[in-house]
Amino acid sequence: MDPKLAEVSQLFERFKAACAREDVDTCCNVLSKLKVLLTGFSSLPPLFEDTPNAIHELTLARDIYEHAVLLSVKIGDQDAFERDFFQLKPYYTDASSSRLPPSSQEYMILGLNLLRLLVQNRIAEFHTELELLSSTALENPCIKHAVELEQSFMEGAYNRVLSAKQTVPCKTYDYFMDLLAKTVRDEIAGCSEKAYGYLSVSDARQMLLFSSDNELLQYIKEEQPEWEIKTGQVIFQKAKESASCKEIPSLQLINQTLSYARELERIV
Amino acid sequence: MTQDVEMKEVPAPSNSTASSSPSTFHHLKEIASLIETGAYAREVRRIVRAVRLTMALRRKLKAQVLSAFLNFALTPGSEPHNRLASYLPKEDEHEMEVDTATSVTQTPVKHPLPELEIYCYLLVLIYLIDQKKYNEAKACSSASVARLKNLNRRTVDVLASRLYFYYSLSYELTGDLAEIRGNLLALHRIATLRHDELGQETLLNLLLRNYLHYNLYDQAEKLRSKAPRFEAHSNQQFCRYLFYLGKIRTIQLEYTDAKESLLQAARKAPVAALGFRVQCNKWAIIVRLLLGEIPERTVFMQKGMENALRPYFELTNAVRIGDLELFKSVAEKFSTTFSSDRTHNLIVRLRHNVIRTGLRNISISYSRISLADVAKKLRLDSANPVTDAESIVAKAIRDGAIDATLDRANGWMVSKETGDIYSTNEPQIAFNSRIAFCLNMHNEAVRALRFPPNSHKEKESAEKRRERQQQEQELAKHIAEEDDDEF
């Protein structure tokens, strides 16, 4: 076997061992070394040269990046996730169609990426990524979970989102689900503010998923200073009745009429 | 060059072909002369006209006519001629129909213009595609593109852009679009360097089409945002560009922009382009549904489009009523149509709109309704519909879709009174947007009046020359005096 390849494989084994031991620092160090070594192979993207060991190298590189992605989830580094995922993507789209056998973790990682986009509220990119998936991919439970989550989020059925936390297809999703819970809480607070005139403290606590009244009070103090708490009820600030509806917005009307006059004059 | 004329006594049944092919050949020769004059005078518009006339002749092209034309336009035995003739099916020599009358009077072409050569490539390519010989079309178009890289004349640009289009089409029909992406990008670079605006437009559209074919919306948007933009030269290319732009915007959830682009594309498209308009309308309908407005019935009843738009009509019905069950059944019933139109993902997004519309109907009709009833009316199929309904209503209120408040203690939704809208500024704002639109359209129409470029320079001198010649003749005829040059 090619000596470079052998070296990389050995290092990769050490990396996997460190991951199993949950030794994050060693993992990161070994990973950077692996990435540097990978640049030595010319069969990888973006060159995609056809060397004799191409398939082996491609598979190995793909495995390394998959582990890198999972590591970034473990340490909670979203930027690293994004970087590693972008490097992994060509292996799924370009290389797989021609030469490599499909990876077992492909769908899980694609689902993770969708979830990440959802958590970061990048819905446009979420949908763009969704377009790239084939119909077989959409049937896969990991991806289906993310898609349904997005739907419930859009519709506003937040309790469904929170209950979906119990039904994650794989454990690695937990990190993002926790982040999602926080986003959901902010959303629920926003909606309740507009929808309800007031809520009893116990109801508010239940809806916002706090385990005690104190947490609720602290949350209100920090995040929502406009809410008042009176006699066991949380009163949301009603929209200020604007008395200005009696006024005529003169500036706006003047601007509009002037523009009409100008345009009409232009008509020869 | 003289041409060996072989006339065969044709039997009666093929008399009709004998009468039509001479006229087609005649037309082709006219077009060729038009191209020549255009090339010599550097007037691009004549070449545009030539291309337009060719399109009219498209159905009548036959192999014999093409061989005859190739013999006429290019010297037989020369390299381009051999290459092109090899793509045409070999006909028996003695069946070549050539009009004796015209063959005697035809003027030989001294040396083939590059325009003429490219024009021949174009003809052969169109013929091959119409005959469904896609592999040969691929080969022919690749050869023509290679030839085009060496030419740098503005008069060839019009023909070149058509050739690029058929190049991409031949690869698309054989399913190999990804192969030519690199080539198209290189061609686009070259066109930009040469300031070939029509070529740039065409190639940008072809590239967008290429990316969208493989659902690579991200890359398409990156290209589109960075590519240089200018006033559209060709209406058809502009329509295509608007359509692709609309598609990209729809996927990126920018529905207002998407609706504008798609509706504009549908409106500007020529009436004959039925398939294109049907596609534009399909996407426009979905975008309007996603925006929350219901398209009118007349949209679906446009001439020639009723059958194609039927699934979308039923979908609109389901959304309008706000019934989730009906929506689901319609989506399943027409799922094959939607998948082939690639609108399936968008339809999935519509579920949210169905619920919204249903909620809106309920909020308007009831002044107060319990949440359990709301859940029942919306037919939300989930574990605990009441809590779902509560959160959905809360979100709808926050988004401004309905005007109501929730009362958690009693578990009901109270709708607010809708005040008298005419006493507010709403009508003025609505009128203002419409007025601004009409004025904008007027301005654009004025700007779109096109005058031929350099006309004020050329025409003057040509006119003045003609005038002068006329005056000279008159002077010579009536007054036997010397001409004095006017200027």
Q: What is the DSSP string of B373-393?
A: HHHHHHT--SSSHHHHHHHHH
Torsion of CA B266, B160, B85, B132, to 10 degrees: -20
- pLDDT tens for each residue of B305-353: 888 888 889 888 888 888 888 888 988 888 888 888 888 888 888 888 8
To the nearest whole Å, the CA of B443 is away from the closest chain A CA by 9
- pLDDT band, very low/low/confident/very high, at B455 (cuts 50, 70, 90): low
The answer to whether B53 and B35 have CB atoms below 8 angstroms apart is: no
Give me the pLDDT at residue A258, please. Answer: 92
Q: How far apart are CA A185 and CA A192, in angstroms?
A: 10
Name which of A88, A56, A90 is nearest A69 in CA terms: A88
Residue A238 has pLDDT above 60, yes or no: no
Q: How far apart are CA B125 and CA B133, in angstroms?
A: 10
Chain A residues with CB inside 8 Å of B443's CB?
Answer: 263, 266
- Cis bond upstream, residue A141 (ω within 30): no
Query: Any idea which residue has 């970034």 for tokens?
Result: A72
Q: How far apart are CA A101 and CA A3, in angstroms?
A: 24
Q: How far apart are CA B446 and CA A105, in angstroms?
A: 59
Q: How far apart are CA B107 and CA B72, in angstroms?
A: 9
- Mean pLDDT over the full length of chain A: 78
- pLDDT band, very low/low/confident/very high, at A49 (cuts 50, 70, 90): low
Residue B460 has pLDDT above 60, yes or no: no
Give me the pLDDT at residue B2, please. Answer: 41
The answer to whether A91 and A100 have CB atoms below 8 angstroms apart is: yes
CB distance A135–B352 less than 8 Å?
A: no
Q: How far apart are CA A147 and CA A164, in angstroms?
A: 12
Q: Does B254 touch chain A (CB under 8 A)?
A: yes
Residue B7 has pLDDT above 70, yes or no: no
Q: CB-based contacts of B266: which residues, under 8 Å, 6+ apart? A: B277, B280, B281, B284
Chain A residues with CB inside 8 Å of B426's CB?
Answer: none
Mean pLDDT within B149-156: 78
Tokens of B409: 């203690």
**Helices B197-213 + B181-193 axis angle, to 10:** 160
CB distance B352–A249 less than 8 Å?
A: no
- Nearest residue of A to residue B252, measured between CA atoms: A124
Residue B253 has pLDDT above 50, yes or no: yes
Q: Best interface-test mutation with B: which of A129, A134, A155, A236 has the largest number of B CBs within 10 A?
A: A155
Query: Any idea which residue has 């063959």 for tokens?
Result: B103
Pairs of CB atoms within 8 A across A/B: 99
Residue A21 has pLDDT above 70, yes or no: yes
Residue B83 has pLDDT above 90, yes or no: no
Give me the pLDDT at residue B4, please. Answer: 39
For A63-72, B125-134, B447-456, which range has the lowest pLDDT when averaged over its residues?
Answer: B447-456
What is the DSSP code (8-state) at residue B58? G
**Residue B292: C-alpha distances to residues A47, B259, B287, B288, B311 (Å):** 47, 12, 9, 6, 18
The answer to whether A155 and A164 have CB atoms below 8 angstroms apart is: no
What is the DSSP code (8-state) at residue B171? H
Q: Does A36 touch chain B (CB under 8 A)?
A: no
Beta bridge partners of A196: B406
SS (H, E, C) chain A: CCHHHHHHHHHHHHHHHHHHCCCHHHHHHHHHHHHHHHCCCCCCCCCCCCCCCHHHHHHHHHHHHHHHHHHHHHHCCHHHHHHHHHHHHHHHHHHHHHCCCCCCCHHHHHHHHHHHHHHCCCHHHHHHHHHCCCHHHHHCHHHHHHHHHHHHHHHCCHHHHHHHHHHCCCHHHHHHHHHHHHHHHHHHHHHHHHHECEEEHHHHHHHCCCCCHHHHHHHHHHHCCCCEEECCEEECCCCCCCHHHHCCCHHHHHHHHHHHHHHHHHCC
Q: Does A40 touch chain B (CB under 8 A)?
A: no
Q: How far apart are CA B418 and CA B364, in angstroms?
A: 9
Give me the pLDDT at residue B95, please. Answer: 35
Q: What is the DSSP string of B178-244?
A: GGGHHHHHHHHHHHHHTT-HHHHHHHHHHHHHHHHHTT-HHHHHHHHHHS-----S-HHHHHHHHHH
Beta bridge partners of B414: B368, B405
The answer to whether B181 and B207 have CB atoms below 8 angstroms apart is: yes
Q: How far apart are CA A92 and CA A72, in angstroms?
A: 19
To the nearest whole Å, the CA of B295 is away from the closest chain A CA by 22
Output B170 or B452, whichever has higher pLDDT.
B170
CB distance B391–A163 less than 8 Å?
A: no
Output B95 or B432, whichever has higher pLDDT.
B432
Give me the pLDDT at residue B242, please. Answer: 92
Q: What is the DSSP string of B288-316?
A: HHHHT-PPPHHHHTSTT-HHHHHHHHHHH
Residues in chain A: 268
For A48-52, A144-148, A184-188, B231-235, which range has the lowest pLDDT when averaged over its residues?
Answer: A48-52
- Nearest residue of A to residue B392, measured between CA atoms: A156
Mean pLDDT within B261-267: 90
Mean pLDDT within B16-26: 60
Amino acid at B458: E
For A179-193, A249-263, B78-92, which range has the lowest pLDDT when averaged over its residues?
Answer: B78-92
Query: Which of B239-253, B415-429, B460-474 tops mean pLDDT?
Result: B239-253
Chain A residues with CB inside 8 Å of B388's CB?
Answer: 157, 159-160
Give me the pLDDT at residue A6, please. Answer: 81
Mean pLDDT within B5-25: 47
- Mean pLDDT over the full length of chain B: 78
Q: Does A195 touch chain B (CB under 8 A)?
A: yes
Query: Which residues in A175-196 are b (16+ Cβ under 10 Å) and which e?
Result: bbbebbeebbbebbbebbbbbb
Residue B176 has pLDDT above 50, yes or no: yes
Q: Does B345 touch chain A (CB under 8 A)?
A: yes
Query: Any idea which residue has 């519909």 for tokens?
Result: B385
Give me the pLDDT at residue B246, please. Answer: 92
**Residue A48: C-alpha distances to residues A42, A94, B178 (Å):** 7, 10, 16
For A224-228, B186-190, B347-351, which range has the lowest pLDDT when averaged over its residues?
Answer: A224-228
Q: What is the DSSP string of B316-344?
A: HHHHHHT-HHHHHHHHHHTHHHHHHHT-H
Query: Which residues in B218-233 are b (16+ Cβ under 10 Å) and which e?
Result: bbbbebbeeeeeeebb
Name which of B265, B234, B232 is nearest B247 in CA terms: B265
Q: How far apart are CA B244 and CA A265, in angstroms?
A: 37
Residue B443 has pLDDT above 80, yes or no: yes
Sign of CA dihedral A56, A61, A67, A73: negative
The answer to whether B378 and B324 have CB atoms below 8 angstroms apart is: yes
Give me the pLDDT at residue B112, please. Answer: 64
CB distance A130–B351 less than 8 Å?
A: no
Tokens of B426: 């709403």
CB distance B351–A155 less than 8 Å?
A: yes
Beta bridge partners of B406: A196, B413
- Give the pTM: 0.76
Chain B residues with CB inside 8 Å of A196's CB?
Answer: 394, 405-408
CB distance B397–A191 less than 8 Å?
A: yes
Residue B162 has pLDDT above 90, yes or no: no
Q: How far apart are CA B103 and CA B413, in angstroms?
A: 88
- pLDDT band, very low/low/confident/very high, at A237 (cuts 50, 70, 90): low
CB distance A131–B217 less than 8 Å?
A: yes
Give me the pLDDT at residue B262, please. Answer: 92
